[in-house]
Amino acid sequence: MPRKTVQSSVPARRQKGAPADGFVRVGPLTGLPALLRDLGCDPDPIFAGAGFNPAQFLDPDVEIPFVPASRLLARCVAATGCEHLGLLLGERVTPESQLGVAGFMLQTAPDVGTALRGLVRHLDLHDRGAVATLVTNDRSTSLGYAIHLSGVEATNQINDLAMTVVCKIMRGLCGAGWNPSAVLLSRRAPQDLAPYRRFFRAPLHFNAERSALAFPKRGLDQSVARADPVHHRRLEQEAHALHANQQTHLVGEVRKLLRKSLAIRNGGVTVIAKQLGMHERTLNRRLRAEGTTFRRELEDTRYEVARQLLADTKVPLSKVAAALDYADSTALIRAFKRWSGIPPAEWRRNHGRS
């Protein structure tokens, strides 16, 4: 089914030269007007203030610009005073039907691992403003979400929404009684923790360097009750066809992969060039032809992640530095002063979200 695009009256802040980047399907936001009403607010003026109309949120297949959508969430939080609005919104999401092809593929996969790898691989058919990550070590696995666009507001709410949806995905695959072994949330702890404890039923770790749900590695091998190999192959073929028709831009793809590489601590120009199916020299040449360099894109990505962590969390500078793959906090401070003109501690005091 062809996807529909709705342009907000607020200009979309897409990444430089990347026509497909910066858009998200309405899917998980379809419950937002009703949620506002339940919280005692009229959605019409809130949506209008962000350049939207609630009627645009009736069809989950409609695409809207990610950054203006984040401004809408910020306005909703301001109007309701609800610190956990993203969690409440996520509770209303039905992942299988509201995440597009990537969502439909979940329940037809033969096992949890296949389902989650498909979600990571095809999330960009639904969401072009962030990346999903699946990291596995000897005993545990974590499924995470990381925003790669700049200028995004309400990142704490978006991360809450994403982790709530991830938890619902896992309960859909493993049963309603499934609980993560840990919940990592890249945001400051809200005053009221009860909604988080009630929903996740697991240890909560606020002020984390990344947002992810952790669970035992053995969970990847669990069979999916409604597995349908034939339907799954057809959906996989559809996803590949949609990717083939998707307009992308090299700079946008590099930024997306850089954000993922920082989240999983596995990057570098050679690795990213290989993921793009080209030699390192070819990647550097093509980036130069587009007026940029790999180093510049890496620095821009680091700056954006640094600002998100400084604004949304109380993560110590040493851990922010590690999350950005710097040797120590001194290297981070030097880089951040070069980017912004002021030290990161001062920037945090001026921009930190309570």
Q: For residue 5, how many C-alpha atoms fall within 13 Å in the half-sphere facing its CB?
A: 10
Return the structure tokens found at 192: 């009221």
Name the DSSP letter for residue 57.
Answer: G
206 Cα distance to chain centroid = 17
Q: Quote the domain boundaries for residue 140.
A: 4-230
Decide if 220 is inside a domain.
yes
pLDDT digits (tens, 9 = 90+) for 120-141: 999 999 999 999 999 999 899 9
pLDDT digits (tens, 9 = 90+) for 188-210: 999 999 999 999 999 999 999 99
pLDDT at 354 over 70: no
Share of the chain above pLDDT 70, in %: 94
**Model confidence at 268, in pLDDT bands (50, 70, 90)?**
confident
Mean pLDDT to the nearest integer, 117-122: 96
Q: How many helices (H) and strands (E) does the chain have?
A: 17, 8
259 Cα distance to chain centroid = 10
> Which parts of the chain are beta strand (E)?
4-5, 23-25, 62-65, 130-136, 140-147, 182-184, 204-205, 211-216
Pairing state of beta strands 4-5 and 62-65? parallel
CB atoms within 10 A of CB 45: 11
CATH of residue 143: 3.90.1520
Decide if 135 is inside a domain.
yes
Q: In this predicted structure, which of 12-21, 33-42, 82-91 has the lowest mean pLDDT?
A: 12-21
pLDDT digits (tens, 9 = 90+) for 321-344: 999 999 999 999 999 999 999 999
Alpha-carbon distance values, 344 to 146, 190, 317, 341 (Å): 21, 23, 8, 9
Same domain, 88 and 184: yes
The pLDDT assigned to 256 comes to 92
Model confidence, pTM:
0.91
All residues at 6 or more sequence positions from 171 whose CB lies less than 8 Å from its CB, including other chains: 177, 178
Mean residue pLDDT of the chain comes to 91
Same domain, 212 and 132: yes
